[in-house]
Amino acid sequence: MLVGNGAETTPQSVPASGFGLQHEAARGRLLCLLGPFRVKFPGVRMAEGRDYAGVFTYSPPPPLRGSEGAPLPEKTRRARQGSAFIFETSRALYAAGVVSAEDSLIEGAARAALLKVVDANGQNSRHVGRPVCDTTHCQVFLGTIAPRPGDRAVLARPLEVTEWLLFSRGGEEPWREERPLETVERVLQGPFSALEVRDGQVFVRRLRERDEALWEEGASSGCEALRGPLKLPSCPTGVRREGSAVVFEGRGRGHGLGLDVEWAKASGLDTEELLRRAYPTSLPSSSKGGAF
């Protein structure tokens, strides 16, 4: 393994038996010449570690602050700020790694469609000035995986997009989740008299006292504002209050936008049609030179 910091710095060896990634990466870029890094994470139940074939750089992100400059709670800050390491690898290794983490059994046209989406997102980060994150906020990446036969041919024709393409597990599997009423009220920023979800929108009604009379107010927002903070599997189709809890019911997994992976696997459609249906306004048509 070698570490070098700058074009004129002589590469230096680091302990082959194991070392602290932050300690060594702070000295310069890290490259393993004998194969992928085997990285172990504190608190993660993977005793064998994960493989990362590429280069690590230590680059702490800038401080993350609230929208009005107020410091965020520590747990929120850690989740949103991201890693202090930047990992560089090839497009093929990255795309295959994300697809394996998202759905290791996906095959055929559905795999090709997901590979193209993952590859496009790898070029269009959701965090200005920082690389793509490796969590569900972006797309899950648990280390590099050797591409399957045919993967590189798929990636040889990248999608011509400059925006983030959403995708999710999707499907039709029913689910039921309960959340404490106080938690739901905190997410909705106060008590409510009625809560309903229709067509991907959350409708909230509240009762307010005005001049000794009760007035009912209504407001709506996108479903992701409710689904995300409450960690619901998908946008709920049913909501009801049961005592000190709120019960949510729905189908599938994810935000319901973009490529529905389970639907894609069962559809029998080819790659081009899957992408066209998932992103009708985001992709250029093939007749205009768009690549599928």
Q: CA end-to-end span of the chain, whole Å? A: 39
Per-residue pLDDT tens, the chain, 292 aa: give them: 555 555 566 778 888 778 888 888 888 889 988 889 999 887 666 567 899 999 999 998 877 665 544 455 665 566 566 788 999 999 999 999 999 999 999 999 999 999 999 999 999 988 888 889 898 878 999 999 999 999 999 999 999 999 999 998 887 789 999 999 999 999 888 888 889 888 778 899 887 766 666 666 677 777 878 888 898 888 888 999 999 999 999 888 877 778 999 999 999 999 999 999 999 988 876 434 445 5
Spans of all domains in the chain: 1-88, 94-168+257-292, 171-253
